């Protein structure tokens, strides 16, 4: 099975060992991809464990409650700044597509990461300066997709025959 982070790798060789905390993420981008995968797979305790304690204001139960309403459908890494194996901080800008049960949308975020005692942590995130009209600050503010438009999940089918079938 391919990894949800869209790396093209098998899940077992990509994010699974990181999400299961069997190995550490080596870069900020690897941590960001593993956190996206954790959202897809419902691994909310991992999300809390990899959030910098200085900025973490959520718990696994709150993440699980909000996560039940959202289906994540794709990740695209747009840019990385530092965050390599020898860095102490890094930034990853990405676009994550989702469906909230009624509409499809995307979340564009510029995420900051820092390394503490050899482990990468998510510090915080913000919308990029050049956010487009389709960008959303939170999943609840999704853009409406036309019924005959291609489904944003990337399946190649019309929205009404795919993620919009229940809408």
- Give residue 136's pLDDT: 39
- Whether residue 87 contacts residue 25, with contact meaning beta carbons closer than 8 Å, is answered with no
CB neighbour class for 88 (10 Å; exposed up to 12, middle 13-18, buried from 19) = exposed
| pLDDT, tens digit, 9 for 90 and up, residues 26-35 | 999 999 999 9
Instruction: Collapse the DSSP code of 28 into the 3-class scheme (helix H, G, I; strand E, B; otherwise coil) and give the result.
Output: helix
> What confidence tens digit (pLDDT) does each residue in 119-146 have?
999 999 987 654 443 433 344 444 566 6
Q: Please return the burial class of 12, using the count of CB atoms within 10 Å of its CB with bins 0-12, 13-18 and 19+.
A: exposed
Number of domains in the chain: 1
Residue 3 lies in a domain: no
> pTM for this one?
0.77
Q: Supply the pLDDT for residue 66.
A: 81
The range of the structural domain enclosing residue 20 comes to 11-161
* Helix locations, 42-110, DSSP H: 44-49, 60-67
Determine the pLDDT at residue 56: 87
Residue 105 domain flag: yes
CATH of the domain at 51: 3.10.450.50
pLDDT digits (tens, 9 = 90+) for 39-84: 999 999 999 999 998 988 888 888 888 888 899 999 999 999 999 9
Residue 27 in any domain: the answer is yes
pLDDT over threshold 50, residue 97: yes
Mean predicted confidence (pLDDT) in 161-167: 58
Q: Is residue 73 part of a domain?
A: yes
């Amino acid at each position: 099975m391919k990894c949800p982070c869209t790396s093209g790798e098998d899940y077992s060789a990509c994010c699974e060992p990181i999400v299961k905390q069997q190995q550490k993420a080596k870069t900020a981008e690897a941590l960001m991809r593993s956190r996206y995968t954790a959202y897809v797979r419902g691994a909310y305790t991992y999300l809390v464990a990899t959030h910098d304690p200085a900025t973490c204001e959520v718990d696994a139960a709150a993440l699980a409650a909000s996560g039940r309403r959202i289906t994540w459908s794709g990740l695209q890494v747009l840019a990385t700044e530092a965050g390599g194996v020898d860095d102490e901080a890094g930034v990853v800008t990405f676009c994550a597509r989702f469906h909230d049960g009624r509409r499809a949308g995307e979340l564009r975020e510029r995420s900051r990461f820092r390394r503490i005692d050899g482990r990468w942590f998510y510090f915080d995130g913000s919308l990029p300066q050049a956010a487009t009209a389709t960008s959303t600050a939170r999943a609840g503010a999704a853009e409406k997709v036309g019924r005959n438009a291609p489904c944003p999940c990337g399946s190649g089918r019309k929205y009404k025959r795919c993620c919009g079938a229940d809408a």
